[in-house]
Structure 1
Amino acid sequence: MTTAMVAVYFEVAETVINNLLSRHREELEANGLRVLRGAELQKFKELTLSSCRESYPQPRSGMALWPRRAVLNVAMLLRDSEVARQVRTYLLDMEYMARTAPVDNSAYSPADSLDGHIDRSITHILGTAVVPMFNALIENSGEHRKELIALRQDIQRVERRLCHHHTRLRRLEGPRKDRPLAGVMAAIDAMNGSEFEEHIAGLLRRDGCTDVVVRGGHGDRGVDITGRTPDGRPVVVQCKRFAPHNSVTSPDVQKFLGAAKVLHKADVALYVATCPFTRDALNISAEGGVTAVHRGLLEAWSAGTALNALG
């Protein structure tokens, strides 16, 4: 959009937009605003403005081009524009909806995946904000009517593709016998530490363990969960809810190994993490009799696959 188009959209004088540009140039440029000058401006004039010299004022020293993000930035800065107030209200409503939307922490609910939520949010924004904005611009910007109509059609095609993609995503995320349920790790990543420990305790009980007790917190003596395997052997578990890009290191495993074997005299020791293990950590685990339940193994276990160490 040009500065004139932005002014038309917000129903203010062009000088108001120019004053905003002067006062908040750095912020607007960070959000995509671009000012054409020199040869770049001349080329733009030749390609875009040559057919409308009489109806469109020809820029002399420079021309500002506003992407959608910069236009929304203007809505945050304008005080005396009813359109800007409506845009701000809409953005605040969207932030509230995103912040207060209920989160399903169940590891067995693929329908509400992160990708699906993003698809629905983008589709909603396109249909209720972007397309109406183009409609208003088309009505008030005759010199670029064809280009704006083409852009609106492109956006509407994207909206239709997102709807189609969301339908396919729900179908693909459905349970199948040959793979774990999709969305398992997304649900686990959304848990806090206590919820994660309870989730692991639930998996132990599901697989036949008894006397399962969550001991996470102060005074846990180096383990988070204790219990007994289905055949009665003592089992201890360390739960680490790390970011997926982190890794469990050798010192982490060594510390747990001492607590599991010396303090608790456990026959089965599980180190369960939402991230990978380093090679040294895996070697220490194997040598010390600790089962390293890494992110991939945790996903399969949560989706129903039995853990061999408990058999």
Structure 2
Amino acid sequence: MINETALLESPALRNSVLDRTDVLDRVKALSLLPDGMHVTTAMVAAYFEVAVKSLESVVEDHRKELEASGYQVLTGTRLALFKRASGIQSRSRSLALYSRRAVLNVAMLLRDSEVARQVRVYLLDMEYLARTQPVDNPAPAEADTLDARIDQRITHILGKTVVPMFNALIETSGEHRRELIELRADIENVERKLCWHHRRLAALEGDAPADNVRSTLKAMTWQAFERHVADLLRRDGCTDVVVRQARSDRGIDITGRTADGRTVAVQCKNRSGRWTVPSADMQKFAGAARVVDRMDVALFVATCNFSHEAEAIAKLSGVITVNRDELEAWSAGVRLEALR
């Protein structure tokens, strides 16, 4: 079994586990820039809870290794294009960027960070399990499960990495802008079809996710429902997600930011049976989210449907409604269009 000391000392061992970047979010949420792929020096230092100077010292000592894992310094035209695409406001003539692999690489080099130590421990535990589990040809049922997991993984990569990359390219492209937009639409279509395929496969196996999701949502308290919606926001790339867990008169239950920096306000209604969201509730939320707090994205998420009056008010005020069917699809893995 690889031990922590060997990991700290051996570049070859570090390189062998660089693909396991998911351990970063398992230890602590890693916020990314709007492009969905990079973080700055200050963001990496904040993640590991160390001084920027400590991080810069690691980069100085291991620059070639970190560059191989995705570390780069932008200057000149590349920096100008990146600032324009990401919305970063800075007068600096250079900007250091880290990919997720580079951040994981830093975790294997920082000796005086408790967060980095936790990442190493988690990484080593996962590596041990991977090495000690028997490798057999999966049975047919196991193969289907594996296919479903691959579909979900591809969908995650498309939504978290490929689509944000196209967003950044579209912002900085002139001549090929239309072609890139069309290609992004094709990628998003593939993502939707994979989600549909996963749900259909599960349904054919007698485990329809809609039924499972519906029963799970029905059993939630209003507090659990708000936490569930917050988790969906985070899954779709939102940051700074805060669940207020209080019945305030203003009607905003959750706040956050989309991956591209837009502010988000969410109202959650956990109702069952034939109950519908009335116009009065929609008016209160629309006033709070769009007029008082001036949020960029206002979502009204409900486990039921909306009355005709409530739908009309939502359209007039720019509130996006998520009814029961849309919530079930969102919970089953389909990304919410408003958060893209």
Q: Higher relative CO (CA 8 A, sep ≥ 6), structure 1 or 2? A: 2
Q: TM-score, normalised by structure 1?
A: 0.42
TM-score (norm: length of structure 2): 0.39
Considering only CA atoms, is the larger Rg found in Structure 1 or Structure 2? 1
